[in-house]
Structure 1
């Protein structure tokens, strides 16, 4: 594939059957959740085993798949993916504050039942994290043979100014430690023989992602490190346990609380979205389709095509899709989205320097996706820090 992206219109199952074996490096997609959203026919059920089997066939051995799902049907999505031959590796939780409860007040039907309803506020979408079985005996050998199988940890670390090594570092991020501790290992000692440790560029990526909204940040403790006192037996940054004076908490008084400050939300990746992100490259009205605080019913009955250039009802933030692509796609690799929608995955792929193949059943959505992706190609590349 020489061009930066290809958009294929039609049934994704038939389109993927025309693709060569082992031809893509990753699959990142937001498929139908099987919830009957807005009465749409395409959301009548989750994709079946045959769809995921085609994803498995075209994906290189060891390649990863990330597929969004709804909380009510996540189990069916994951089972179908697993039955197709994938290994389930994890589940990522995307937490957001923009969901609206679709609940009926039972007090309208039953006297004395005011305050009783039928549903919770939606605030999470699970992402099934799966991998095609390795073709080699080890991940390292698989990466050498096919270029995939590992995760881009450093490329997806969570930026922070915090010291990440529990006292193993000086204030400038470097401090010599003894060879005996170095031989003991620890994640940051891998491959080291002598000299100084180096402060990682950020926190290890987690299986939780949030949108940075005030509703979500409020769920996290304001001072995460102050939730438990120093006991005196905490493990060091190198994995050893013992008294405080020998641990990474040297100098802290037993029984005192940690001095950390700031919301624990900072431990996790934050992917914010905007109206501009949704409509870049499209002719659109400045009037929003729904007002702030709109109910789910308002969203279902809104005139999306008339008011909004991108009238797809379920648009994911480009920042979020870029992060997920970066986590599992090798540099210059090709990503596939069999349920492309309005093209957020493709737009993100262009931003990250990946190639992209997208399948979409609806020609109008495919046209929106093409405009968004082409617009992204005309923008200056953003430097990854």
Structure 2
């Protein structure tokens, strides 16, 4: 095993950093990359986050993560709008394919990859990773505790425009209330079957036994939110209980097991891996987040979990 990569965070573009890792090296990947709204036309770094926050600080807008000026934040739904929207999706899918190609190389056979994404574009992420060689296994539903409608309330819109009988459009909106996020589950092809893959690489299986003895569902809910420390300024921190649960289910607790997060953010995946005594590798493009990750790792402590070595 190449120990120089273990339990470290690397600053850089994961498409380049992944090239430094050996073939068939990591056992699992759990990651939360920028969604395509965040991707188009802007570098995804802290200065861009702050720019967006400032733009909506005194605004009533509910769509706070779409880059202003991207052509996706509003406007007339004409041919140009839909063309730009489609180009954005294809560009995003190609970007996912680029990092997925290197990720495929470094994953062991049977290695499981989990990628968070929006319900609107998770299919494109799955297609990109399938193009890179992965095999689609599932979509896990992370049900959040609440969701806010973000579309048009047509009754109120017509009231403002002075139309007669706007109440006839009561209940008609442009979208549903969103209260879940998609987690795309893929796997690098096995070596012949699950048994051979497990015995040679320690990968391929999911841990499905729940604390009450039941069989684990692919819907994860009733997960409490964290109260983030003042120093953790990342804008999309996932709950630690959620990441602990994903590590528990999808990361093998076998000798030599490694979990990687190519979009480490504030490091929640890495903290969860440390909680389980599992080796981790983090990659993060924004330099200011590295200190956040390292501080969180220092403050975390291993849970009383033991690796099942064989």
TM-score (norm 1): 0.60
Structure 1 residue 99: Cα displacement: 2.4
**Structure whose alpha-carbon radius of gyration is higher:** 1
Deviations 1:141-166 (A, max 9, x none): 1111111112223xxx2233xxxxxx
Q: Residue 11 of structure 1 aligns with which residue? A: 13
Residue 121 (1) aligns with residue 177 (2): yes
Q: Residue 359 of structure 1 aligns with which residue? A: 283
Residue 88 (1) aligns with residue 136 (2): yes
Give the Cα separation in 2 of the matches to 1:49 and 1:93: 23
Structure 1 residue 4: Cα displacement: 5.7
Query: Aligned pair in 2 of structure 1 residues 357, 383: CA closer, same or farther (>3 Å)?
Result: closer
Structure 1 residue 317: Cα displacement: 1.0
Structure with greater helix share of residues = 2
RMSD in angstroms over aligned alpha carbons? Answer: 2.3
Residue 208 (structure 1) aligned to one of 219, 222, 227? 219
Q: Is the 8 A contact 2:244 2:273 kept in 1?
A: yes
How many residue pairs get aligned? The number is 247
Query: Aligned pair in 2 of structure 1 residues 104, 329: CA closer, same or farther (>3 Å)?
Result: same
Residue 38 (structure 1) aligned to one of 65, 86, 89? 65
Q: Residue 220 of structure 1 aligns with which residue? A: none
Q: Residue 159 of structure 1 aligns with which residue? A: 211
**Which aligned pairs between 1:1-385 and structure 2 lie closer than 5 A?**
1=3, 5-36=7-38, 38-39=65-66, 45=92, 47-106=95-154, 107-109=156-158, 110=161, 111=163, 112-113=165-166, 115=170, 116-134=172-190, 136-153=191-208, 157-160=209-212, 202-210=213-221, 212=222, 271-275=223-227, 278-279=228-229, 284=230, 309-331=231-253, 333-376=257-300, 379=301, 381-382=303-304
SS of the residue corresponding to residue 31 of structure 1 reads coil
Q: Is the 8 A contact 1:4 1:350 kept in 2?
A: no
Greater RCO structure (CA 8 Å; 6+ sep):
2
Give the Cα separation in 1 of the matches to 2:206 and 2:302: 26
Structure 1 residue 56: Cα displacement: 0.7
Q: Which runs of 5+ in 2 are unaligned?
A: 39-63, 69-87
Q: Which runs of 5+ in 1 are unaligned?
A: 161-201, 213-270, 285-308
Deviations 1:118-172 (A, max 9, x none): 33221111111111011x222111111111112223xxx2233xxxxxxxxxxxx
